[in-house]
Amino acid sequence: MLPSSTVENYLKAIFHGQLLLPADIRLVPMGQVAAALNVTPGTATTMVKALAESDLAEYEPYTGVRLTPAGEKLAVLVLRRHRLVELFLVQVMGMSWAEVHDEAEQLEHVVSERLIERIDEMLGRPTRDPHGDPIPTAEGAITPIHHQNLLTCPIGTPLKVTRIADQDPAFLRFIENNGLKPGQSIEVETRDAAADSVKLRGRNLLSITIGARAASKLLVEVERP
Ligand SMILES: [Zn+2]
């Protein structure tokens, strides 16, 4: 079976599912895979069985699925193409940070290895995409990043935004308009558990209050002076 765009999207969905699994769970539930790809459970099962036959995944009926090392490698290379394309569209084409994800969803399946290598070289072998996600190497190595989010980070401590864990254009524009893009310095002033909100301040900005859901998608690291 050749890695078509459908196969690649399944590999990505299972890979992302694996990253979110609790430590004691090995397999990504099939319902989760189907929901991520917006297909029926029956469709997802048929496809996952085909992946298993191609040795890209391990499938256990009624339990779930997990990628084999070969499947993981392919998934990571799709992520590499996606993230390099996003960075290229922002840095070279001047496209909006908030809009490039959907373009990359298409282009990740069609750009050649040769073109991706050229883009990687031209951009100076970058390690992060415009949303702060790590860019895997051509060998398929990916550096896991352990971030805190605005619900778990220390209060009253200088922080650097490292990653936005959401690709929704409206949310990304909100982030941009409020000076909260990766690389910006911010500080949490207070957390209000009753109101489910977080009040924060940028270095030169007024305080803004955001909801807990938005706060959980803003990943940060403590800034070292
Ligand atoms: Zn993206």
Is 0.75 topped by the overall pTM? Answer: yes
Ligand 1: distance of its center to the CA of 178 in Å? Answer: 20
Ligand 1: distance of its center to the CA of 48 in Å? Answer: 23
pLDDT of residue 87: 97
Tokens of 204: 């030169």
pLDDT of residue 147: 79
| Sequence-separated (6 or more) residues with CB below 8 Å from residue 69 | none
User: In terms of Cα–Cα distance, which of 163, 165, 205, 157 is closest to 20?
Assistant: 165
pLDDT in tens, 56-83: 999 999 889 999 999 999 999 999 999 9
| Sequence-separated (6 or more) residues with CB below 8 Å from residue 128 | 134, 135, 163, 182
Question: In which residue ranges of the chain is pLDDT below 50?
Answer: 1
pLDDT of residue 55: 97
3-state class of 203 per DSSP?
coil
Ligand 1: distance of its center to the CA of 8 in Å? Answer: 14
Tokens of 195: 């109101």
pLDDT of residue 3: 61
